[in-house]
Copies of this chain bind each other. A is one copy, B any other.
Amino acid sequence: MSKPKILITNDDGIFAPGLRYLIEVMRKLGDLVIVAPDKPQSGMAHAVTIQTPLRIHEIANEPGYKEYSCSGTPVDCVKLGQKVILKANPDLIVSGINHGSNSSINVLYSGTMAAVIEGAMEDIPAIGFSLNDYSYHADFSHCGPFIEKISLNVLEHGLLPGTCLNVNFPEKNGSPIKGIKVARQGKAIWDESFDERKDPHRRNYYWLQGQFVDKDAGEDTDQWAIRNNYVSIVPTQIDLTAHHAIEILNSWKF
């Protein structure tokens, strides 16, 4: 039997330790094609490059292992990996490991998760992995066995059409991981402000800054799972319809 073809990307860029760790874990599971951004693309969400053309740079081209950097976003990387490198759909797309959590509403800002949602749009099984630690030198060593187990399950069972997985790991904190929790996306907000500064020409410029505020007391959320030292898996979908709001809107007078 031929090995599964696995497409790997991330949003922290081709040199990020989280990606390098993910590649090492996935080497055991299949033939790899890595297409990752040539610079950090955090916070790029589902952006695609349409105003400028894209470049790809070959880093490795061996049997069972191809690696490329790309000038675009994580979603561009997935599209290029499929259409230009593989010229076919991979059996699995994995993205990450992100340096920083993509739980709760962070899924909407995340380039890591956008790459995976792009897979869901074409019914390619896809998993995003993120660690609740923003540090460049974060310790990913506790993630490997879970990445392997989750990926093997997805390769075996597939995923429902239009869905993908958002997997978040607790940061390495000395306590052993208690297990895996299938969870829902928790409710939270970013309490944000802008740091206003003046440049040498006395013109204002602004830096976005903010604090993540969990607003959800539920024990079935991704946030709860991570806080309690579980790996969280949120099944995530591309249908954004608020089906529960349709009846209300139908009662409005237009």
Cα–Cα distance between A243 and B244 once the two chains are bound (Å): 13
> Which residue in B46, B108, B234, B242 is a CB contact (below 8 Å) of A160?
B242
Smallest beta-carbon distance A199→chain B, Å: 9
Contact with B along A157-169 (1 / 0, CB 8 A): 1011011011000
Cα–Cα distance between A208 and B163 once the two chains are bound (Å): 24
Residue of B at shortest CB range from A185?
B241
Interface residue ranges of A28-81 to B (CB < 8 Å): 40, 42-51, 53-56, 76, 79-80
Q: Is the CB of B153 within 8 A of A208?
A: no
Q: Is the CB of A240 within 8 A of B240?
A: yes
Smallest beta-carbon distance A212→chain B, Å: 12
Which B residues are CB-close (under 8 A) to A246? 182, 184, 235
Cα–Cα distance between A121 and B186 once the two chains are bound (Å): 12
Interface residue ranges of A141-185 to B (CB < 8 Å): 146, 149-150, 153, 157, 159-160, 162-163, 165-166, 179-180, 182, 184-185
Q: Is the CB of A236 within 8 A of B244?
A: no
Cα–Cα distance between A160 and B47 once the two chains are bound (Å): 27
Integer count of this chain's copies in the complex: 2
Residue of B at shortest CB range from A145?
B254
Can you show 25 pairs from A to B with CB atoms below 8 A apart? A42-B51, A44-B45, A53-B197, A53-B206, A54-B207, A55-B204, A55-B206, A76-B208, A79-B192, A80-B194, A83-B192, A84-B194, A84-B196, A108-B121, A108-B240, A153-B253, A157-B248, A163-B242, A166-B240, A180-B254, A185-B240, A185-B241, A234-B241, A235-B245, A235-B249
A: residues with CB less than 8 A from B are: 40, 42-51, 53-56, 76, 79-80, 83-84, 105, 107-109, 114, 117, 121-122, 146, 149-150, 153, 157, 159-160, 162-163, 165-166, 179-180, 182, 184-185, 187, 189-190, 192-194, 196-197, 203-208, 233-246, 248-250, 252-254
Top 7 nearest A-B pairs (CB, nearest first) are A235-B245, A45-B46, A237-B242, A235-B242, A53-B205, A163-B242, A45-B45
